[in-house]
Amino acid sequence: MVGAGASASQGSGSLDREWWLRALLVLQRPRPVFAALADDSDEAAGARQEPVTALVFLAGIGSVLATGAAGRLLDNPSDDYDALLIAVWAIVGGGIYGIASYFVFGGVVLGLLRALDSRASYRQARHALGLSAAPIALWLVAVWPIELAVHGRALFRSGGSDSELGGHVFDAIGAVFLLWSLVLLAIAVSTLRRR
């Protein structure tokens, strides 16, 4: 009996690792990743839940850091914002924004899939949306730190150095990552439509 339980645990761990790898692979070869969403069993969905949640959380943080509200956090000198408070604001606000968007826009994706006569579940639609957010999460961990290093606290002030040419370059890069995410979502819808 102990051997059977250990074998099932190893199988579950292997599936978990596969989905962590797929969360990265979606950036390069998205169709097989979205095709793997066809398995909507509780075990498969459980294995992909952590990587999807991580992508949604990171994309939410990236989204709030790209807002105009973030660009004005240090405008009022009487506010007590410092680097730690900005980080807490981004993490908490981004997490809330990411999770709320995941459920709301997951419903929108499901509605679109239903309109296309897909039998995909709400869970599959949400997971497709979460995996499609991988480029925004990548932007947060690969590009935003460079932008922060270049512009520093000016990122959080209106009219700072980030509003000059260098800031527009980073805005354009961010737009490319957002477009990449939308393309992945279109591929996901196309793939799930056949299910």
Amino acid at 164: E
- CB of 21 within 8 A of CB of 48? no
Question: How confident is the prediction along the chain (195 residues), in pLDDT tens digits per residue?
Answer: 444 444 444 456 899 999 999 999 999 999 999 999 999 999 999 999 999 999 999 999 999 999 888 888 888 776 677 888 999 999 999 999 999 999 999 999 999 999 999 999 999 999 999 999 999 999 999 999 999 888 888 888 886 554 565 667 888 999 999 999 999 999 999 999 976
Q: Which residues contact 46 (CB under 8 A, 6 or more apart)?
A: 12
CA gap 94, 20 in Å, rounded: 21
Closest CA to 36 of 48, 46, 27: 48
CA dihedral over 122, 97, 178, 16, signed as positive or negative: negative
Which amino acid would we find at residue 88? Answer: V
